[in-house]
Each structure stands twice: as structure tokens, then as C-alpha cells.
Structure 1
Amino acid sequence: MNTTAVAFAVLALALAGPAPALLARARWPFRAPRAAMVLWQAIALAAVLSAFGSGLAIASQLLVPGPDGRPTTSPTKEIDALGFTLWLTYVVVFLITLFIGARLMVSVLRVGVRTRRRRARHRRLVDLLDRSDRSKTAADIRVLDAAEPIAYCLPGIRRRVVLSEGTFASLSDSEIAAVLSHERSHLRARHDLVLEAFTAVNEAFPRFVRSGSALGSVTLLVELLADDSAVKVAGRRPLARALVACAQSAAPSGALAAGGATTLIRVQRLSGPGADLRIDIAAYVAAATILVVPTIAVAVPWLVELNRLFHGL
């Protein structure tokens, strides 16, 4: 059991520290954003599960066999078997594990509620300020009275693609098609849910533990995925010109904008090499390995031991 706890702890630390740092500095995700996204999700999930696994493995030491071979269920019997100091250590670890789980659930709810409230308020605002001709534009498009090019989307059930009059004045038809495809790709793939999950995990852990590399990298990856969808519709050059035109446009919290701080990286990527199937395969294999191999190698012996303990063998 102690070996299991140590293995889970080492795995959690590796997946929370060195692994994200190395992946965040890598350049290959630019050529395989979808596979990189899967790998990031595998790392995050495996890190959380490993942290819980370590805590629960240590807490399981409370289930020492009693005289009849069955696990003890009374604190006094556990103290007699373990000693007060060791028993207290196991209890504290178990309480910390429960606290981390509760904090993570609260963070997920808080981020979800906060984001949806902001989107709802902004959705009502853009509906009021809409200057579009409803007979000529799609039902999900809203047009704002602003001279600068603006393009972003508001995900959700009542989704919106928000453009400005400056966008129509500055961009050609092919560039507008690229922007619309980019934003609708965000809406269709529900990239907002991916970002919410990573935001919740980031906020759930203390500042001295968490790292912004995962959230920042995933934020860039969802933009790359949307860019790839836009390229299929309008081509690379129209998308690049549209990104440069909308680079300074700001989006409200909870929205996904076409431009932003990552515009230069994304435009440079459009002139670089395309996808490589070998990179995709390697990333998917790595993601599966991170999730499956540690679970089999570490969790199965622990479950076997618990089964033996509960059956008094």
C-alpha cells in the first residue's frame, strides 16, 4: 500500500510539474493541435486521479486487519493497531484528500456559474445593440456599431457570433467567411467547455502548486483548431489577413475572439508546414499510455490488496 501511495504521488508530481512545462515549450503541437489537446487532457486527468489515488492509498492504511482478519471499523481499534501518531497521520491525509476533492467540485461549479452569468449578460447586451438587418444575416450573428474590426463568439445554447460594422468595412467576403468559420468552429466543438475544465482545475489548486502553462497552452490550441476549420473553408491567406485585421479586438470574459495576443503565432503557423500523421499517432499513443499504463501498474495491485483485506484472506 505504501508503495502504491508513493507511486501515485510521484506520478502526480511529474504530471503536474515537469510534463506540462516540457509540453508547453514544445513546437510540435502547432502541427497537431487536436492530438496535443487530447494529450493535455490526458495529463490533467491522470494528474488529478493520481493525486487522489495517493491520498486514498495512504488513507486505506486505516483498514488494518482486526483479530478476525476483517478490516477494523472502529477508531479505537485502529489506534491500537497503528499507534496514535500513525493513525492521526493517515486521518489527516484522508481529510486533505476529501478537501481537495471538494475544492475541485466547488471550483467547477463556481467557474461554470460565473462564466454563464457573464455570457448571459453580454448576450442580452449585444441583442439590444444589434445593428444587423435580420432579413439578410444569419440568426446567430449580431452586428455592433463600432469602427474597429471586432469578431468573437458567445458559446452556449443561445449562441452568438458578434461582429462589428468595421469588420464588414475592413474585410473582404472571403475574409469574413474565414472569421465566421473560425467562430462557428468554436461553437460547434464546444471549446468553451474544455477551457472551463482547465480553468477550474487551475483555480482549485493553491498558487504555489498550480501552473498557468496548461491553461495558456490549451487556450492557444483551441484557437489553432478553429483556424484549421477556417482554412478548410476560406484558405490560409484570407484567414491570415482577417486575423491581422482583428488582432486588436477584445472579447468579453467567457467569449472566444478571432484575434488577440496569440495572433502573431497563429499567422506564422499558417505559413509553416502542415500536419504530420506521425506526430498525431505519437501524441495519441502517449495520451493513452499516460492514462492506461499507470492505472494498470499501480491501481490493480492496490485493488487486489483491498479485496483480500475485505474478504479476510
Structure 2
Amino acid sequence: MSALAFATLALLLVGPVPALLARASWPLRAPRAAVVLWQSIAVAAVLSAFSAGIAIASKLFVPGPDGRPTTLLGEIDQLGWPLWALSIAVFGLTLLIGARLVVAGTQVFVSTRRRRSHHRTLVDILGVTHDRAAAQACTRARELRILDVAQPLAYCLPGVRSRVVVSEGALTSLADAEVTAILTHESAHLRARHDLVLEAFTAVYIAFPRFVRSRNALDAVRLLIELLADDAAVRAAGPTPLARALVACASARAPKGALAAGGPTTVIRVRRLAGRPNSVPLAAAAYLSAVAILVLPTIAVAVPWLHELQRLFSS
């Protein structure tokens, strides 16, 4: 594949493709497979962007017919001004994306953990552990912290020293089955480390320039990981208690870096609990699509290099 093809594929995978997938309704019935599909799209987009730069570098920096490095003027004469300028622009954009990806990943990693550590200290000071039976819904009871807040709320702070935080308002206003559902929801986030998935998508979103990136992937994955936690809560307590707990906590706001049970997606999630169950055929189709999307640019990059290595060792 040429550099232009790789660049076009990268632009499609960070713009139109996420926009189309974000408008689809089938991911609600196959959330785990949809997350994998989103991950493959993100990885393929980054890989395609880097592949465009590699393809351009292989054309711009190869030795000339006499074996000596080609000069800048020689490349312009060979490619022409328009194609040369386009190649340089795409190569520069690739380097920019690579640098921004490293910087964005580091910033997201450091700032998120600093914020969570600060908030964890606060809830450890202000909160208390609880010995009621509902606390057993947590993976480890010592993770649970109760805040003296009248508003029903529940969220978790992922990390090595994770915390599940609920309010007294949630414990007093919700039935035992509803408390179990909401605590299981938060514990599911911690066990699956959904925070790492969100951090990766946040870094990719920041890395790409504003004029090509789309927020669809980040918003869609944020909803999907809530659906995965909802499924775990349904298995523990049933759909009705979870739906009631979600509605009770819908207006609560969690701190940045936390994963909250309520939020702006509550209506979609409650409607899903009353709708059709997850679909195995949809999940299988999504997994196959994820493999195809990821394998295509990988093969396109690997095959030419393998061919060159074979030619080098056979000569």
C-alpha cells in the first residue's frame, strides 16, 4: 500500500468510521465485542498513520542509483513539487502524531493518578467503612467508603488502592437488592480495569490533530464500559433493582477520574435493561470485523518488509 492509501485509511478510521459506528444501535446488544471493535479501529488508525510515514520515508530517504543518499533537490526532481510537498506534509503529520501520542499518554497517566490519589486520600479521611451485608457485594469490603451525603451517589476510584464510594443517601434510600446492584456495578469496573481502556482512548483522542479527530470513539467507549458493568450487576441482582438504583443516582456527579454509576447515559442504559438481551451473532460479527480491521494495515506493512528481508538474505 502507498503512503497515500495509508494516510487515507488513517483519516477514515479517525473520522467517518467512528461517526458511523457511534450512530449504530447494535453495540448496545454486544458491548464487549463493540469495545474490542473500537480498540481495533483505534490501533489500526495509529498503525496506518505510522505506516504512511514509513512509506514516505522509504521513498524520500533511499539511496540513489549510484548508491549515494539522494539529495533534497533530487527528490523534488523525481517526485515533482506537488507530490513532494504532500509527502513531506504527511511525514511531518506522522511525526507529530507519534510525539503527541507519547506526550498525551504520559499526561493522561500522570494527571489521572494524581487526581485519584488526592481524592482517595479525601474519602479515606471523610468516609468510613461499613459492616452491613450489602458491603459484601464489593470484591473486598475494605474498598468500600461511605460518605455522609444525603444525595444518592456511587462511584469508584480505580488503581492499586481502589475504592468504591457510596453515600449514606444511597444506602438509606435504596433497597438491599438495589445497593447490591450498584456496588456490584462499581466492583465490575475495578475488576475489569475499565479505567485503562478509557485512558488509552483519551490519549489517542488527544494525539490526533483537532481537524481530523472525532470524540465519537471516546464517548461510545465510555457508554459501553458502563453497559459491561451493568451486565455484571444484572447477573448479581437482576435488571429491575439495577434500573431503580441507576435512576436514583442519575443526577449525582462524580469527580474527574472516577467511574460513576449514574450520569448522562442513564436513560439509554435503563431502556436497554428493558429491551432485548445481548446477541451472540452480533458479538461474533463484531469480533470478526475487529480482526479484519486490525489485520489489514498490519499485513500491508509487514509483507513488503518481509519481502525485502527475504530478498536480502537470499542474495
Q: TM-score, normalised by structure 2?
A: 0.90
For the residues of structure 2 that align with 1:92 and 1:304, how far apart are their CA atoms?
Answer: 27
How many matched pairs?
Answer: 305
Aligned residue among 184, 187, 204 for 1:184 = 187
Instruction: Say whether the 8 Å CA contact 1:62–1:78 is kept in structure 2.
Output: no
Residue number in structure 1 paired with 2:301? 299
Instruction: Say whether the 8 Å CA contact 1:4–1:299 is kept in structure 2.
Output: no
1:78 and 2:71 correspond: yes
Deviation track 1:252-286 (CA, whole Å, cap 9, x = no partner) reads 00000001100010000000000111101100000
- Residue pairs, 1:33-112, within 5 angstroms: 33-67=31-65, 70=67, 72=68, 74=69, 77-79=70-72, 81-83=74-76, 90=87, 93-112=90-109
Residue number in structure 1 paired with 2:171? 168
Instruction: Say whether the 8 Å CA contact 2:246–2:261 is kept in structure 1.
Output: yes
Residue number in structure 2 paired with 1:203? 206
Give the superposition deviation at 1:299. Answer: 1.9
Deviation track 1:216-240 (CA, whole Å, cap 9, x = no partner) reads 0000000000000000000000100
Q: What amino acid sits opposite 2:119 in the alignment?
A: H
Residue number in structure 2 paired with 1:30? 28
* RMSD between aligned residues: 2.3
For the residues of structure 2 that align with 1:201 and 1:11, how far apart are their CA atoms?
Answer: 16
Q: Please identify, of 228-237 and 78-87, the stretch whose mean Cα deviation from structure 2 is larger.
A: 78-87
Give the superposition deviation at 1:79. Answer: 3.2
1:245 and 2:248 correspond: yes
Change (3 A) 1:29 1:153: same
Aligned residue among 7, 10, 14 for 2:8 = 10
Residue number in structure 2 paired with 1:114? 111
1:129 and 2:126 correspond: yes
For the residues of structure 2 that align with 1:108 and 1:145, how far apart are their CA atoms?
Answer: 35
Instruction: Say whether the 8 Å CA contact 2:181–2:242 is kept in structure 1.
Output: yes
Mind listing any 5+ residue stretches in structure 1 that lack a counterpart? Answer: none
Change (3 A) 1:250 1:305: same
Instruction: Say whether the 8 Å CA contact 1:64–1:81 is kept in structure 2.
Output: no
Deviation track 1:67-98 (CA, whole Å, cap 9, x = no partner) reads 45x5x4x4xx4336424767776555444322
Q: What amino acid sits opposite 2:264 in the alignment?
A: A
Q: What amino acid sits opposite 1:302 in the alignment?
A: P
Instruction: Say whether the 8 Å CA contact 2:155–2:165 is kept in structure 1.
Output: yes
Residue number in structure 1 paired with 2:138? none
1:231 and 2:234 correspond: yes
Instruction: Say whether the 8 Å CA contact 1:64–1:78 is kept in structure 2.
Output: no
Mind listing any 5+ residue stretches in structure 2 that lack a counterpart? Answer: 136-140
Give the superposition deviation at 1:118. Answer: 0.5
For the residues of structure 1 that align with 2:103 and 2:218, how far apart are their CA atoms?
Answer: 18
